[in-house]
Structure 1
Amino acid sequence: MPKQLALGLTLPESTSLESYLPAANQQAVADLAACARGSGEPFIYLWGATQTGKSHLLQAATQLADQVGRSALYIPLDQATQLSPAIFDDLEQMDLICLDGVELIAGQADWEQGVFGLFNRLRERDKSLLVAARCSPLNLPIRLPDLLSRLSWGLCYQLQPLNDQDKIQALSTAAAGRGLALSDETARYILRHTQRDMGSLRQLLRQLDQASLEAKRGLTITFIKTFLEHQTDPQAGGL
């Protein structure tokens, strides 16, 4: 659809509910899936710190809705605000709209009015809306009282970050999906010696996958230690 093309969005194929480890967020994921399918609560507000998977879940919901024959659109407001609130025009024709980063339009009267109008039009037509932000509705610096009230409706979930055991499980699952064997001991080594957020860990796993393929070696602690040393000092020698 034209508006989707205007935003230049391409959702990664790997972004799915199956590739998201819910851990303590199981109920939020279940209700989000029901919303995407059109069988659950039509409005859900997700909030949490960075790297808790807000964008992943909204993108996954968009793809799930499409898979079951519902029209859906994912709008990351960090990109959309480079355009104008006119991007919301006629979106009530869609079955599901996912707005990511709603805190980014706070204090901008035209954008706040645009989201407010979209919310009302979707509700009038019994369509679904998923919203994500870094803070709860109560802490949003939205100036339009009616919009702030609307964003407090429906279900609201604070996404909880993964603990270390959850991250080990996520790494092992992601490695298995690439045909790699990753022991818990090796996963713990990675957590102790690299950045611990899931975005960085997934990026490292992609790099290790390529490096192990080229070196024809498995993901042992020795191999990973050498790889990390090489990343820090390219003159450290081969893998």
Structure 2
Amino acid sequence: MRQLPLDFEPMAPAGLTQFIAQGNEEVLAWLMAWPDSAQPGTPTYLWGPQGCGKTHLLRGLASQALGAGWHVLWLGRQGFQSWDAPQEQAGTLVLMDDCESLDAPQQHWAFNLFIENAAATAQHEAAGGQGPSTMAIVAAGRVPPVDLPVRDDLRTRLGWGLVFALQALGEEGVKLVLEQECKRRGVRLAEGVLPYLLTHFSRDLGFLMDLLERLDRFALAEQRLVTVPLLKQMLAQETE
């Protein structure tokens, strides 16, 4: 008889301080210093291959902004999500993820947010630069802005500000991320599991983190330590 684990998230999402920066120190430093590092009205765009940590960085920045009293709006291929700040008049951080996958209505929403950002910046400047700008935009995608398959006016706006190119982690960096995630989740891995993951599967962090989550839930249901045989058993059952 298998035990079904309850659908609980494993603690708080990983933040900026948990990001393994190897090769991406500049962008991490900029995000850690936000909003002081940002220019009012100037968007920021992060790009890099799948699994290099773009979504992790956006989520970490969302947590940082909420802690600083900002509203946060998230736009991605699955739609909108928003979190309100205690003060209604607080600034708004707009985060756009998977920009290459935005459909036509989402591209329209994104463009309108850029228009709103421009209006907020103009109002800020008209007030002599007093007080914080009321909106900031940070976006991410797999390709440079110029190569994004989106409408021309949105592509131009995504690319005219600050652009950071993210580097994919090497094997040691990926191993550190997985070890860190296991610690965060309280997952105990038997010796040999991490080397097996790194030699038999893609080093795409998104894929590996999803695999680790499934393995964690499967181990809880089976009430067993995470081992290579358990991993093989899970994968076999998933393909049945």
Q: Structure 1 length as normaliser, TM-score?
A: 0.70
Alpha-carbon offset, residue 19 of structure 1: 3.5
Structure-1 residue corresponding to 2:128: none
Aligned pair partner of 2:231 in 228, 233, 238: 228
Name the CA distance, whole Å, in 2 between partners of 1:229 and 1:75: 36
1:145-200 Cα distance to aligned partner (Å, 9 max, x none): 5x544333332111222221111111112222234455885411221233432223
Structure 1 distance, partners of 2:137, 2:78, is 18
Paired with 2:210 and 2:77, the residues of 1 have a C-alpha distance of 24
2 CA distance for matches of 1:32 and 1:149? Answer: 22
SS of alignment partner, residue 160 of structure 1: coil
Match of residue 168, structure 1, among 175, 185, 201: 175
Counterpart CA distance in 2 for 1:118 and 1:102 is: 18
Where do 1:1-239 residues align within 5 Å? Answer: 13-35=12-34, 38-42=35-39, 43-80=43-80, 94-105=91-102, 110-111=108-109, 113-124=111-122, 125=124, 126=133, 127-145=135-153, 147-182=154-189, 185-212=192-219, 218-219=225-226, 223-224=227-228, 226-234=229-237
**Residues 120 and 196 of structure 1: CA distance in aligned 2, closer, same or farther (over 3 Å):** same
Q: Would the alpha carbon gap of residues 196 and 142 (structure 1) be closer, same or farther in structure 2, given more than 3 Å must change? A: closer
- Measure, in 2, the Cα distance between the counterparts of 1:121 and 1:15: 33
Q: Secondary structure of the residue that 2:24 maps to in structure 1? A: helix
Aligned residues: 207
Q: CA deviation at 1:62?
A: 1.2
Mark the CA change 1:172 to 1:103 in structure 2 (over 3 Å): closer, same or farther. closer
- Distance (Å, rounded) in 2 between the aligned partners of 1:172 and 1:197: 15
Whole-Å separation in 2 of the counterparts to 1:152 and 1:27? 18
- Select the structure that is richer in helix: 1
Secondary structure at the aligned position of 1:151 is classed as: helix
Give the superposed CA RMSD: 3.4
Which consecutive residues of structure 2, in runs of 5 or more, have no partner in the other structure?
1-10, 81-88, 125-132
For the Cα contact (< 8 Å) 2:44–2:162, is it kept in 1? Answer: yes
Residue aligned with 2:174, SS: helix
The answer on whether the counterparts of 2:146 and 2:156 sit within 8 Å (CA) in structure 1 is no
User: Normalised by the size of structure 2, how large is the TM-score?
Assistant: 0.69
Matches of 1:199 and 1:162 in 2, distance apart?
12
1:64 is displaced (CA, Å) by 0.9
Instruction: Give the % identical residues.
Output: 27
Aligned-partner residue type, residue 129 of structure 1: I
Taking the aligned partners of 1:150 and 1:99, their CA distance within structure 2 comes to: 13
CA deviations on 1:106-164 (whole Å, 9 max, x unpaired) are 8778456424413312433423210112221222345445x544333332111222221
Q: State the SS of the aligned residue for 1:65.
A: helix
SS in 1 for 2:138: strand
Give the SS at the match of 2:140. Answer: strand
1:41 CA displacement = 1.6
Gaps of 5+ in 1: 1-11, 81-91, 235-239
Report the counterpart of residue 8 of structure 1 in structure 2. none
